Amino acid sequence: MYTGTDDFQMVYTNIMGVFKNAGISSVIKEDLDDAIDHGVMVMKTVRLLCEALELSDGFKQSILLAAGLHDVGKLQLSHVLYGRKKEALHVDEMRYMRMHAANGRDMLRGCGYPEGVLEAVYHHHENYDGSGYPDNLAGTKIPLSSRIIKVCDLFCALVSERPYRAAFEFDTAVEMMIEDSKDLDMGIFLEFLKIYHSEKFEEIRQYAEYANAKKHYLHGVESVVI
Ligand SMILES: [Fe+2]
Ligand SMILES: [Fe+2]
């Protein structure tokens, strides 16, 4: 379990350790690259939010691990679900995809990660109004760590290039989040918006540009960068 300060190293080393422990010997490289970039971006955003919320160092260490590894369960499904580059998922595949929260938790448990990390990963797709998964938890029944990751994960997903759609502009992503704010803890989302409008967010903007530029190349998506 690497808990150092280099974000890429932290996500990469931990994902590889989880794979080894789970006996996963191969994964589609592009999926792995995307998962690492996404984990790093969510981790960076979560860190800014935790600092703004003045959360304890112990909590931060746990949630940063969870942020970097929250989608590790998806990679176990990589050969079934990924490898596709142009289409959104079908309904049955979507059901399968939803297993990634529990899969990720179980993989991390097998490696001896702390309970706080397992809990944060398992609940990162719960919605504040109770419409999420896996347990339809609502409000503050959802762990704080998962509510924080939820806001950051949603934003990072929207502004990232996907095989089946282009990345949304930052402001468009925020507007979409406002429209779907019933899914989010409003107190945390408002804190996120404060950071979003601060200079600190430049780090996230630059990382998104860096990660998306790699994907334009990988996926052959036509894009003009000015
Ligand atoms: Fe996820
Ligand atoms: Fe995610």
**Residue 225 in this model has a pLDDT that exceeds 70:** no
Q: What is the pLDDT of residue 174?
A: 97
List the catalytic residue out of 20, 60, 74, 194: 74
Reported CATH class of domain 7-217: mainly alpha
Give the pLDDT band of residue 94 (cuts 50, 70, 90): confident
Percent of the chain surpassing pLDDT 70: 87
Q: Which pTM value belongs to this model?
A: 0.90
Average pLDDT, the chain: 88
DSSP string, the chain: ---SS-HHHHHHHHHHHHHHHHT-----HHHHHHHHHHHHHHHHHHHHHHHHTT--HHHHHHHHHHHHHTTHHHHHTHHHH-S--S-PPPHHHHHHHTTHHHHHHHHHHHTT--HHHHHHHHTTT--TTS--SSS---GGGS-HHHHHHHHHHHHHHHTS-BTTBPPPPHHHHHHHHHHTGGGS-HHHHHHHHHHHTSGGGHHHHHHHHHHHHHHHHHHT------
Q: What is the pLDDT of residue 216?
A: 59
Q: Which ligand is nearest the CA of 157, by number?
A: 2
Q: Which ligand is nearest the CA of 45, by number?
A: 2
- Summarised one tens digit per residue, pLDDT across range 21-61 is 888 777 777 778 888 999 999 999 999 999 999 999 999 99
Q: What is the pLDDT of residue 200?
A: 95
What is the distance in A from the centroid of ligand 2 to the CA of 23?
23
Sequence ranges of the domains in the chain: 7-217
What is the distance in A from the centroid of ligand 2 to the CA of 114?
20
What is the distance in A from the centroid of ligand 2 to the CA of 226?
28
What is the distance in A from the centroid of ligand 1 to the CA of 226?
32
Q: Which ligand is nearest the CA of 121, by number?
A: 1
What is the distance in A from the centroid of ligand 2 to the CA of 124?
8
Q: Is 214 a catalytic residue?
A: no
Q: What is the pLDDT of residue 95?
A: 73
- Summarised one tens digit per residue, pLDDT across range 166-191 is 899 999 999 999 999 999 999 999 99
**Residue 164 in this model has a pLDDT that exceeds 50:** yes
